A and B are shown apart, each in its own frame.
Chain A
């Protein structure tokens, strides 16, 4: 039973929309949440393949992934009698076998837009159709959950800009790389510069408290990161991260979790999924993307080892792709998609969701129909794994239906 402390005042920046937040008690920390956003709209039908649906093969004469056959490395990896993983996602196989992978199919945002930009904005805002909400679902989650955690690395966006999902959080830090978060110049010069600036910011003569606070956070972050030993890191259990931004980013998230710097939420992007042309089947453009994705997530899972019990990784993409392949060996913008959940808290070993079918009559304007709102999945994670009950603030005007994708933490 959480002990209720005196009301915590949440100071929202004045440029953000005003929301009414109830007073908060301090809550225990739940899982570390790692959100992977696949920019460009992943083709969920070729990632989490409905190998048991003949209409899939009818619609994809060139791009379809073959039904699982143990002798064929280019065929799907069987999950159950109906679904298989793209062979390039072999990195997720051990996660599946460990019961820590929970794919969800035919899910996503209900908004009909096929604009990548609008769909991303809606998904990250946590409010499909709403273009003016200035905060993101994760920002509101952090604002409404007081875990007593004052770490400047409570929420981290790996990249150069704050992910829209984290907007509104006063405790989010953006970094392209934990290796780069320091002052420029040689070490001695940087140390002197930092020390001098901290002295100047300790009592800013223009009375700007927000400058002082920000400088304090910089110093605290640099200090925290100095404990992580950012430049020399050996992943545990022989885990091998792929090179490239995504693999490196996942490795750095693992470093931060292990270093216990107070990380609760991490956001990371994976790009290049807009495969209109030459998407490829078992091999090719999309296979390369899936290899990087699967290998990085697999390495992360191996690296985290036992700590994976309190970590939850969730993937999402703004929408899916059209069921029927196009004339350029690719696929156009579609609707529903697949999400992957990894972690000790997931209900693993099972493909979740309701399969709507791929017959003409089952499609939504030629696209995979949506049977699970992505907010149902995220709400269940937030509620059961992160211990935040303020779902109405996080996903305004929406009542989530839990689908049993995670266990109560």
Chain B
């Protein structure tokens, strides 16, 4: 391997690095990672309790761009490392590729899955931004008292929190998984007074159990006032059943539409769910979970062949949730969705099966399930299978450009125009997770304009300094190669390079970056 220009290695033909190159890269990465100790594979024992005695918070995520710029310049990016960073984070920051390439994708997955809730405790960039968002830790009553007449601020705070976490959190995979469950247990935040409830659901259901046991997540969601309100279960009363929540619980949260349940099962489950309500709903001030025995239908029920004896009370639903959480159709349905999120719009059955096996062996431990699917060869071989959704596109661009992010009206408006205003998907099935749903002309135009504004420095409050980002005085070839490496992980294909060549000078560096963000290649999610 010549040691002159490592950029000549075509990353997508999976470069075989020599030992000497590897050491060189390793050294660079070690310097880059600062005090972070490089570890060997520390794969989590599936099904075991989370163990994180030694927490190596990856320093590269908030690393200095100047120091890493030099190193990235000489860094070929291994296709699998690039893929992993695009799928398991909101997009690589400077230096991430080198680090993941060095430690290996499997170790990176384990590291991400093993991080504790406190992973971001010293993350100033993130915590300073979150500290301004008071709805995050507020109770429904607090939110009601303060924001009743300005609910738009609650929407904005929730969206801002999700975006700054995506941009700045070191616990990247966790944030993606939070987004996955936010959509699996979708709640439209602007339905009626639901805006006072969703922040609690986000904190106490989705974020709390995203990597816990599926049964705990499902149970927490079933007790979540935000969910019960969104799907009208407070109106589900003895003799006056409302099947909304019962139906979605089966169709979307567990078994799937072809999961083998009947209309009769929906009705029986709705009966079991009668009385699962919310405090204060009569005064139009929903707040906490409340079981109302007088509204509960206490007769005998049968759901999916499971007999619920009369006078079961609250236990009816718990028994059904126990059954649903380990039902083979639930396991398959959820694993298929996970594989669709991370591997392919049409995921291979073999990868799904690995998730299913891990689920069964671990009794629904989500860390084990995500681990099994992400460690699969199918994942590593899935380059080119996914395109970025708007959330990954925006957060990824901010990360790649090392923008000092302010989430303001303009940025949120771009999320709307691209079609993914967070927490605003109205039906209960969550935002679509296949590329066909995201590239309508006005959405793509919004991506182009976002790229032009972000890299052009005209997005209010979000400064991008191109010269500082890349350094000045480079040849056109160097410019093109280095920008491409940072945004695409590989040199530009010849045709794109020729098209962009006129912009390869210091004066037009902003527009070069903008065009690359808007390019078809950048829409790929690894």
Chain A residues packing against B (C-beta within 8 Å): 13-15, 113, 115-118, 121, 131-132, 134, 152, 160-162, 164, 172-176, 181, 183-185, 189, 192-193, 196-197, 199-201, 203-208, 210-212, 214-215, 217-218, 221
Contacts and interface: CB of A to CB of B under 8 A. Distances in A.
A275 B524 CA distance: 46
B511 A193 contact: yes
B427 A134 contact: yes
Contacts of B387: 208
B86 to A, nearest CB: 12
A196 B520 contact: no
B441 A161 contact: no
B260 interface: no
27 contacts: A15-B437, A121-B426, A131-B247, A132-B257, A164-B426, A173-B442, A174-B442, A181-B442, A183-B445, A183-B448, A184-B453, A184-B456, A193-B514, A193-B518, A196-B499, A200-B499, A201-B519, A206-B521, A208-B435, A208-B523, A210-B436, A211-B523, A214-B443, A215-B520, A218-B441, A218-B445, A221-B441
A389 to B, nearest CB: 28
Given A134-B429, A181-B442, A185-B452, 4 more contacts: A116-B191, A117-B192, A200-B499, A218-B445
Contacts of A212: 520
A14 B345 contact: yes
Contacts of A184: 449, 452-453, 456, 458
> What are the 9 tightest A-B residue pairs by CB atom distance, in nearest-first order?
A204-B520, A13-B436, A217-B441, A117-B191, A160-B416, A15-B432, A174-B442, A214-B444, A184-B449
Contacts of B432: 15
A115 B518 CA distance: 40
Nearest to B456: A185
Contacts of A174: 417, 440, 442
A207 B426 CA distance: 32
B427 A132 contact: yes
Contacts of B496: 200, 205
B244 interface: yes
Given A173-B442, A181-B445, A193-B515, A208 B416 contact: no
Contacts of B181: none
A152 B440 CA distance: 10
A220 B442 CA distance: 12
Given A196-B515, A203-B495, A131 B437 contact: no
A15 B425 CA distance: 15
A14 B434 contact: yes
A296 B8 CA distance: 62
Contacts of B521: 200, 204-206
Interface residues of B, number: 57
A384 B435 CA distance: 37
A215 B444 contact: yes
Max count, chain A CB within 10 A of own CB: residue among B413, B421, B426: B426
A272 to B, nearest CB: 14
B445 A206 contact: no
Interface in B371-388: 384, 387
Given A13-B436, A13-B437, A162-B440, A115 B449 contact: no
A161 B244 contact: no
Contacts of A204: 520-521
Contacts of A131: 244, 247-248, 427-428
Contacts of B469: none
Nearest to B429: A132
A160 B413 contact: yes
Contacts of A134: 427, 429
Contact of A115 (B191, B421, B427, B503): B191
Contacts of A176: 417
A297 to B, nearest CB: 25
A287 to B, nearest CB: 23
A113 B452 CA distance: 45
Nearest to B414: A160
A343 B247 CA distance: 42
Interface of B: 188, 190-192, 232, 244, 247-248, 251-252, 257, 345, 384, 387, 413, 416-417, 419, 421, 426-429, 432-437, 439-445, 448-449, 452-453, 456, 458, 493, 495-496, 499-500, 503, 511, 514-515, 518-521, 523-524
Contact of B452 (A160, A193, A201): A193
Nearest to B444: A214
Nearest to B459: A184
Given A117-B192, A193-B514, A175 B442 contact: yes
A260 B247 CA distance: 46
Contacts of A205: 493, 495-496, 520-521
B508 to A, nearest CB: 10
Contact of A218 (B433, B444, B453): B444
Contacts of B436: 13-15, 210
A203 to B, nearest CB: 7
Contacts of A173: 440-442
Contacts of A113: 232
A162 B440 CA distance: 10
A393 B439 CA distance: 25
A53 B503 CA distance: 73
Contacts of A210: 435-436, 439
B515 A116 contact: no
A278 to B, nearest CB: 14
A14 B438 CA distance: 12
B359 to A, nearest CB: 24
Contact of A15 (B421, B434, B449): B434
A265 to B, nearest CB: 15
Contacts of A203: 495
B427 to A, nearest CB: 6
Contacts of A200: 496, 499-500, 515, 519-521
Nearest to B431: A15
Nearest to A185: B452
Given A134-B429, A205-B495, A118 B416 contact: no
B501 to A, nearest CB: 11
Contacts of B247: 131
A325 B182 CA distance: 40
Contacts of B248: 131
A161 B416 contact: yes
B413 to A, nearest CB: 7
A400 B158 CA distance: 43
B232 A115 contact: yes
Given A132-B427, A196-B515, A205-B521, A214 B449 contact: no
A206 B428 contact: no
A360 B127 CA distance: 59
Nearest to B416: A160
A207 B385 CA distance: 11
Contacts of B440: 162, 172-174, 214
Contacts of B428: 131-132
Max count, chain B CB within 10 A of own CB: residue among A183, A199, A204, A210: A210
A132 B243 CA distance: 13
Given A117-B192, A183-B452, A211 B520 contact: yes
B520 A208 contact: yes
B242 to A, nearest CB: 9
Given A14-B434, A134-B427, A205-B520, A197 B448 contact: yes
A134 B443 CA distance: 19
Contacts of A152: 441
Contact of B518 (A14, A116, A197): A197
